[in-house]
């Protein structure tokens, strides 16, 4: 299959933008044009503390920055989702949606800028279509009463989303909806098992496919005009239920492979999905920190799964027992390096991918937790490094692992949310309670 990216081509189904959806595109390569040129430059930080669960920013037009999120109402009044359009420089709110129903589920959800000009937002068990001023055009309660983990726009413009389930919670379901009315297109597709990670997709010479990490296997879904179907000829096993490793988050499609990290269903996630509605507690839970020890003994693993043969190649960059993460890896083919980390124990690694085995090229003493951004042209990786009570951004030289810039964001809480590339040597950061822009001069 041809899985290479032409980053100069508009993404099918999306508004013409450099970053219309989380991770920059359906392959989740998190790659941006240009670079920060951060070495020797001065980072300037703008942080707004809004007390919300800030999930991600995306771009519609060159000056149209949108922020989506939810309210972290684990107890007390009902939660709701929201969308804001921000001033890209000051982060001032230009327009804001009304409170968006979420089925009383507390989870991060996602937003995307569609080719038709609308912004789509999934939050809990609801999908909304909103106009550029953040006003609701259509609302749909999804067929499954469960929090949904992300959405993607497929090449025909339809919207695909999936509910999140852990081991022992039954099969997850993919729902495909019409972009105009949000009508469900055909019966939702039930997977053979539950699934935690977000979906990735790829349009290839052989057709369009959705990739979904499950409880034990990774599933490939064929996309047809009126049907989603499971590809029974490709379902590689990446773990054994009840074994020493945890579940995988979403994958990065790159160089003919799906790149994953396991050990994702940490204590905080198990607590949130051990309740229904998800994330709603009668009394505050003591299990919501991602810093708690892992509920397994295995080290953090990086997995490379061939899209052709299904062969699984693994690496343990750190080897420390009880590894754990809350975000997936990123492969950077321009530098023959895949980036992996261990959030619970600490550690960031560049893993060489140009050999028959996956070999650790460098490590950094850092504690990342979130979805990074890479600039292949300048060889820069941007990711967070959480110091207790102080979340920081670091810029790492991908070939060498040298930290070439570091800046404190004024955010006291880190989570597994998204970084977004800007247009002026800048990136945007989202976390619980705060959102930031960092520009290098």
In terms of DSSP H, where are the helices of 109-218?
none
pLDDT by residue (tens digit) across 153-204?
999 999 999 999 999 999 999 999 999 999 999 999 999 999 999 999 999 9
- Within 8 A by CB and 6+ apart from 369, the residues are 290, 325, 326, 327, 343, 384, 386, 414, 415, 416
Of the pLDDT bands very low, low, confident and very high (cuts 50, 70, 90), residue 2 is very low
pLDDT by residue (tens digit) across 11-30?
999 999 999 999 999 999 99
CA distances from 439 to 36, 373, 379 (A): 8, 14, 17
Q: What pLDDT does 286 receive?
A: 87
Structure tokens at 396: 């790492």
For the segment 230-243, the average pLDDT, to the nearest whole number, is 94
Q: What pLDDT does 226 receive?
A: 86
Q: How many CB atoms lie within 10 A of CB 280?
A: 17
Domains in the chain (CATH in brackets) are: 22-440 (2.140.10.10)
Note the pTM of the prediction, 2 decimals: 0.96
The pLDDT of residue 332 is above 60: yes
CA–CA separation, 378 and 274 (whole Å): 43
Strands 81-86 and 159-163, bridge-based pairing: unpaired
For the segment 42-60, the average pLDDT, to the nearest whole number, is 97
Percent over 70 (pLDDT), the chain: 98
Sheet arrangement for strand 252-254: 252-254, 257-261, 302-306, 312-315
Q: What pLDDT does 242 receive?
A: 86
CA distances from 132 to 160, 169, 195 (A): 21, 37, 32
Q: What pLDDT does 7 receive?
A: 39
Contact 176, 33 (CB under 8 A): no
Of the pLDDT bands very low, low, confident and very high (cuts 50, 70, 90), residue 9 is low
For the segment 41-57, the average pLDDT, to the nearest whole number, is 97
The pLDDT of residue 6 is above 60: no
Residue 308 φ/ψ region, left for φ over 0, alpha for ψ in the -120 to 50 degree band, beta for the rest: alpha
Strands 403-411 and 390-397, bridge-based pairing: antiparallel
For the segment 53-57, the average pLDDT, to the nearest whole number, is 98
pLDDT by residue (tens digit) across 260-282?
999 999 999 999 999 999 999 99
pLDDT by residue (tens digit) across 81-122?
999 999 999 999 999 999 999 999 999 999 999 999 999 999
pLDDT by residue (tens digit) across 355-405?
889 999 999 999 999 999 999 999 999 999 999 999 999 999 999 999 999
Of the pLDDT bands very low, low, confident and very high (cuts 50, 70, 90), residue 41 is very high
Q: What pLDDT does 356 receive?
A: 85
The pLDDT of residue 4 is above 90: no
The pLDDT of residue 3 is above 50: no
């Amino acid at each position: 299959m041809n899985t290479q990216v032409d980053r100069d081509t508009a993404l099918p189904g999306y508004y013409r933008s450099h970053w219309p959806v989380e991770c920059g595109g359906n392959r989740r390569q998190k790659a941006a044009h240009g670079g920060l040129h951060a070495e020797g430059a001065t980072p300037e930080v703008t942080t707004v503390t809004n007390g919300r669960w800030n999930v991600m920013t995306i771009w519609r037009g060159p000056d149209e920055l949108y922020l989506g999120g939810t309210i972290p109402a684990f107890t007390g009044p009902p939660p709701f989702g929201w969308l804001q359009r921000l001033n890209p420089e000051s982060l001032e709110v230009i327009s804001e949606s009304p409170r968006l129903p979420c089925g009383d589920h507390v989870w991060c959800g996602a937003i995307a800028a569609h080719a038709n000009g609308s912004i789509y937002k999934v939050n809990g068990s609801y999908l909304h279509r909103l106009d550029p001023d953040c006003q609701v055009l259509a609302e749909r309660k999804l067929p499954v009463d469960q929090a949904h983990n992300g959405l993607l726009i497929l090449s025909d413009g339809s919207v695909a989303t999936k509910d999140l389930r852990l081991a022992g919670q039954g099969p997850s379901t993919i729902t495909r909806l019409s972009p105009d009315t949000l009508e469900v297109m055909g019966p939702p597709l039930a997977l053979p098992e539950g699934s935690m990670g977000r979906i990735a997709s790829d349009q290839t010479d052989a057709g369009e496919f959705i990739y979904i990490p499950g409880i034990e296997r990774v599933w490939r879904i064929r996309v047809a005009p009126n049907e989603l179907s499971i590809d029974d000829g490709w379902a590689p096993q990446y773990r054994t239920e009840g074994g020493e490793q945890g579940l995988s988050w979403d994958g990065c499609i790159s160089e003919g492979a799906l790149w994953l990290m396991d050990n994702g269903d940490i204590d905080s996630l198990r607590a949130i999905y051990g309740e229904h509605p998800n994330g709603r507690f009668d009394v505050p839970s003591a299990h919501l920190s991602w810093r708690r020890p892992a509920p397994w003994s295995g080290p953090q693993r990086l997995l490379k799964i061939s899209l052709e043969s299904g062969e699984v190649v693994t690496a343990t960059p750190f080897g420390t027992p009880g590894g754990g993460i809350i975000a997936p890896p990123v492969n950077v083919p321009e530098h023959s390096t895949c980036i992996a980390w261990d959030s619970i124990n600490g550690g960031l690694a560049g893993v060489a991918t140009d050999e028959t085995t996956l070999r650790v090229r460098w490590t950094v003493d850092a504690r990342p937790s979130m979805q990074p951004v890479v600039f292949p042209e300048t060889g820069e990786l941007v990711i967070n490094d959480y110091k207790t009570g102080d979340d920081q951004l670091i810029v790492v030289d991908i070939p060498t692992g040298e930290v070439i810039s570091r800046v404190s964001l004024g955010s006291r809480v880190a989570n597994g949310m998204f970084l977004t590339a800007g247009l002026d040597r800048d990136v945007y950061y989202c976390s619980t309670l705060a959102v930031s822009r960092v520009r290098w001069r």
